[in-house]
Structure 1
Amino acid sequence: MVTSGADGPEKLTVSNVYCPHADLDKLERKQYKLQFYRLLQVRAEAILSSGSHVIVLGDVNTSHQPIDHCEPNDVRSSAFTCWSTLTGARQTNYGTCIDYIFSNCSLVETAFIGADIMRGGIQSLPCMGTAHLYPPA
């Protein structure tokens, strides 16, 4: 996507990712996952350094803060993006938030209107997040 900026066209690079899951019984999976995160950050920083805005979104397989897990979160219903399909946990809203949208600060400050979690959808699939940006000028 190219938009008009004060100094000419601005670029936006969007990366949709599926990050590795870590198995608590296998230390090497945790190390692999952390290495994946480091490489993802290096790649995003390289894209940013090339002059493009960056959005990284998708399933990062991590609950970042306690509010992203069902146990302490009774503030908002349907606030999660992943549930156990074996127990029907989606109906009781007992899940986690592992899908995120990340962006560079200047894009957030100048173009983001808001973000949310989509509700509804197919019962066996996770919910997706949405981000709303101002349209290009």
Structure 2
Amino acid sequence: MVIRIMSTLNVFAYRLSKGKLGGKFLGGAPVLLLTTLGRKSGQRRTAPVLYLADGDRFVVVASKGGFSKHPFWYQNLESNPSVEIEIGGERRKMTARRASDAEKRALWPKLVAMYRDFDDYQARTKRDIPVVILSPL
């Protein structure tokens, strides 16, 4: 419940300020807004997530702080990989897919360099934390 409230406030501040508020996380990691369609409701759901720019793609991590279950946004994009992202005031339509094991191995050191807690989250949970690649349509 606390995570949901904080996410809602972050989305509001991010949109109002075009990313000036909520556009950076602890340690300066960049944040984008990821909008998915609810797998049950079909309604648009937006979550702030840390990202790594990779050429014209963006890489996000479905860590949920190392909790035992995937975040709702990840479950939503498994059902429908068409997503929208917002960076600053710019919106882009993307398609999402889970990184292959080889891609995750290559990207993980860069992700951890950006946000060190990802390693702690993976150590804390039994689930394999998905790395997601967002590519332009």
Q: TM-score range by the shorter chain?
A: under 0.3
TM-score when normalising by structure 1: 0.27
Structure with the bigger RCO (C-alpha within 8 Å, sep 6+) is: 2
Task: Compute the TM-score of the two structures, normalised by the length of structure 2.
Answer: 0.27
The structure with the larger Rg is 1
